[in-house]
A and B are shown apart, each in its own frame.
Chain A
Amino acid sequence: MTVAVDKTKCIGCGACVVECPIEALDLIDGLAVVNPQKCNDNGKCVIVCPTNALSLPNQPDQPKQALDPEAGSKFDLKEPLPDTVKDYAQDNQKKAISAQVTPVAGGDVWSGVWVIIEYSNGKVAPVSWELLGEGRKLADSIGCGLCGVITGYQVDSVIPEAFAYGAEKVYVVDHFALKDYRTEPYAEAITSLVTKYQPEIILMGATSMGRDVFPAIATRVQTGLTADCTVLGIDPETKLLQQTRPAFGGNIMATILCRTSRPQMATVRPRVMAMPERVEGREGELIHEEISFDETTIRTKVLEFISSDAKSAFLDKAEIIVAVGLGIAAKRNMVLAEELAEVLGATIAGSRGAVEAGWLTHDQQVGQSGTTVRPKIYIAIGISGAIQHLVGMETSDFIIAINNDPEASILKVANYGIVGDLFQIVPAMTAEFKKRLQHGVAN
């Protein structure tokens, strides 16, 4: 008998391979494969599998009860198992997963939740405040402090804001070398704070800056990093940070743990976490950290910054989006969407089909291979709603879809779905919006 792998369920996470005490499992081409010569049906892999892809065929109904809690001790192990393993075999499944924590160098030294506050070109990225709100919840569930980190040049105006949004302590590195964002000095500043003060968790927005500097820091301190999280939580037993993010282009959600190293690092998608309450005049501890930078050793120079209006720079910042799909049939019909967008002050976007047809450019594409958007209003015109499109827009606050196919998937995620001819409905909507907005008639 050997453990059976359901290849349609296996996600190739490797949890079973790590778990197997006798190395009978291997990951081959991204799927778990059992070596029947080695497998002795101890079933440990079955327990840890997050997708229930593994089973013991001879005991299909009760694979978990069939476990012998002492089974682990029978094997001649190459490596001693951590002590924690001994007690989890007698406990429940959840414990089994959480108890894998390998002792971390530094032990309890790593403490506190940090939020890196993104400040560039005189502006704080709002996601920084959202993360102080989320960080507060995490710090409370662990029972530790919440700190803000501000790196930049002439950042004094930001400090009271960080306290107002909930930081108890603020670390500041204020230096001319940090005037413009560059990976090297920013990574150096944050890395030196991290190694000195040893936070347990560090968060930053999944912006172009966060997604540039965090991998550099994680590599320097040799720890795990989870990108683009949409849900964070703390495991009540292990106090590990549960980092949930969309994977496979949003087709599944995966919860990632960083068990074996500290700090636990995550970037978080903007506008997913709620903005916390701002308390004017709140105070806290301020630590100015002096770091000297040698400009001659920094190998990058910012020559110029060309600011562009947010609408054209990044689709994911748009408040209102008018998106078109293949249903508009021809490029000349783009005018329907453009007129509607004009009236609403909206940004034009579209499906992959519309981009491939040449009606739009790639940076206007919404969806998995394009941009994920979360506007206040998303108006989908002639978009059928393939899953790849839906994952990129279904968290919009309000969705209006116009499609002639009553079975179109887009209608299933729409707050208002209109079945009908877009060539008649869209101009009528444009006219109606124009009338009300120009005359200020709401009802």
Chain B
Amino acid sequence: MISALGRHSIRIINEIGELALFGSRAAVSLPSQRHVFEKVSRAIFEIGVRCVPITLIVGLFTGLVLGLQLYYVLTKFSSESLLGQAVALSIILEIGPVFTAIMIVGQAGSALSAEIGIQRNAEQIDALRTMQINPIGFLVAPRLWAAIICFPILTTFFDLVGILGGHLTGVELLGVDPGAYWNRIYEAVSVKNIVDGLFKAIVFGVVTTMICSFQGYFTHLKSDVPGARGVSQTTTRAVVLSCIAILMFDYLITSFQMAN
């Protein structure tokens, strides 16, 4: 049992090392690519534009629920005037970056993993190599840079709509004073809070894009079965690992941010 645990641990460490190498190769290979603007723009459309509706919907309902829950908690302490502050800080620091990243992984990350996996199975990645085109630079690098751009923007959308949702519940439905709601937000939220939240979004973007691309790129090695079922396996694994990674990195980053 101990040897099995050891083998498993070594395999995980090995995989993290491979992922880090894969990610660094993708990050540095973009400048050597041709038509960078065109490729990154297309990736921004896939990752960013297509995820706007789902981000706005989830952001609005999260804000609505948060406003409702926090209102009844704060009422017990006669502190409902703090609702705006509580909603805004929860969303900007934690819920916004985490939920947005999970939404993007569900929509764009799974598609990215499946697309690259299918390209692997269809020998398109080998074809790129025979054409002396760097497959990681061609397929992964534009998506990585698009994620770095899109994740903070979508997180900002989520934050704004979420705070608006809190306003709808707290102010419009439950009668909290609008001046108190917005004034508390203005007083409590600092630039550092916003930067901290967006920094998380960038880290989540990099990590999840790497995981999803990596699982798809090596679908022939990472799945137990070849073909379509293999792609299905690696896509599922990409989404699950990405969600775990988001929560792990959220804890780590928050720890550092709190310490500072």
Q: Do A and B come from one complex?
A: no
Q: Which residues of A contact B (CB under 8 A)?
A: none
